[in-house]
Copies of this chain bind each other. A is one copy, B any other.
Amino acid sequence: MKPLSSLHHLIQALRRLPGVGPKSAQRIAYHMLQHDREGAVQLSSALSEAVATVRHCSRCNTFTESDVCETCRDEERDASLLCVTETPADQMMIEQTLTFKGYYFVLMGNLSPLNGIGPKEICFEKLIARATDGIVKEVILATSFNNEGEATAHYISEMLKARGLYVTRLARGVPVGAELEYVDIGTIARAFLDRRTT
């Protein structure tokens, strides 16, 4: 009993999705063909449309359908401030806080030498060119506070400070609304070190 070629191709293609192993690829394929062919058709065209239209903003590197994204085209922003994020999702979170009115640079990842992701893969040259346009004064690093995000922030910070830029990092501390009892010790220690006068 040989597997069907088109079903087999579908299962193989689904396995390329991040986090999808052989068992779940099979389960997804059966589900779509049995219960949601409309969804399968929709996903097929959404994939080919996105591949055809989505590219990187020539200024901030985020996903866009034009040469320069909507945010970079917004002339109301403060051009002396540049915030560096890992993903478009992180950028959207910061936008929602309404606390930042500068421009962004989206790395689309993190330095991760073990996974073969070096400065080239995260568009480092593009970031340097963007940050040294002569107008940017402060670069705010908003990468994650995990190991890879911290290493990325450190690396970028060194490179940009060497080029005369003022580089800052989002503050670490006790989350707003948190009870101390439930906050991890490392965070409390950091909040002590970074304590501020009131």
CB within 8 Å of B: which residues of A?
Answer: 1-7, 9-10, 12-14, 16-19, 24, 26-34, 36-37, 39-51, 53-54, 63-65, 70-71, 87-89, 91-92, 95, 108-109
Q: List 14 A-B contacts (CB under 8 A).
A: A4-B65, A6-B54, A9-B50, A13-B39, A13-B42, A14-B46, A17-B32, A18-B27, A30-B88, A30-B108, A33-B63, A40-B48, A43-B44, A44-B48
Label chain A's interface by main secondary structure: helix
Is there an interface contact between A16 and B4, defined as CB atoms closer than 8 Å?
no
Bound Cα distance from A63 to B34, whole angstroms: 9
- From B5, B13, B95, A43 is in contact (CB under 8 Å) with B13
Bound Cα distance from A108 to B89, whole angstroms: 38
Residues in B neighbouring A31, C-beta threshold 8 A: 17-18
- From B36, B40, B47, A50 is in contact (CB under 8 Å) with B40
Stoichiometry, as copies per complex, reads 2
- From B6, B46, B88, A49 is in contact (CB under 8 Å) with B6
Bound Cα distance from A47 to B27, whole angstroms: 14
Residues in B neighbouring A13, C-beta threshold 8 A: 39, 42-43, 46-47
The 8 closest A-B pairs by CB, nearest first: A16-B39, A44-B47, A13-B46, A13-B43, A44-B48, A10-B50, A10-B46, A9-B46
What residue in chain B is nearest A30 (Cβ atoms)? B87
Bound Cα distance from A95 to B37, whole angstroms: 28
Shortest beta-carbon distance from A183 to chain B in Å: 23
What residue in chain B is nearest A39 (Cβ atoms)? B16
**Contacts A14-B43, A19-B24 known; A9 to B49 CB distance under 8 Å?**
yes
Bound Cα distance from A63 to B37, whole angstroms: 13
- From B19, B34, B41, B49, A48 is in contact (CB under 8 Å) with B41
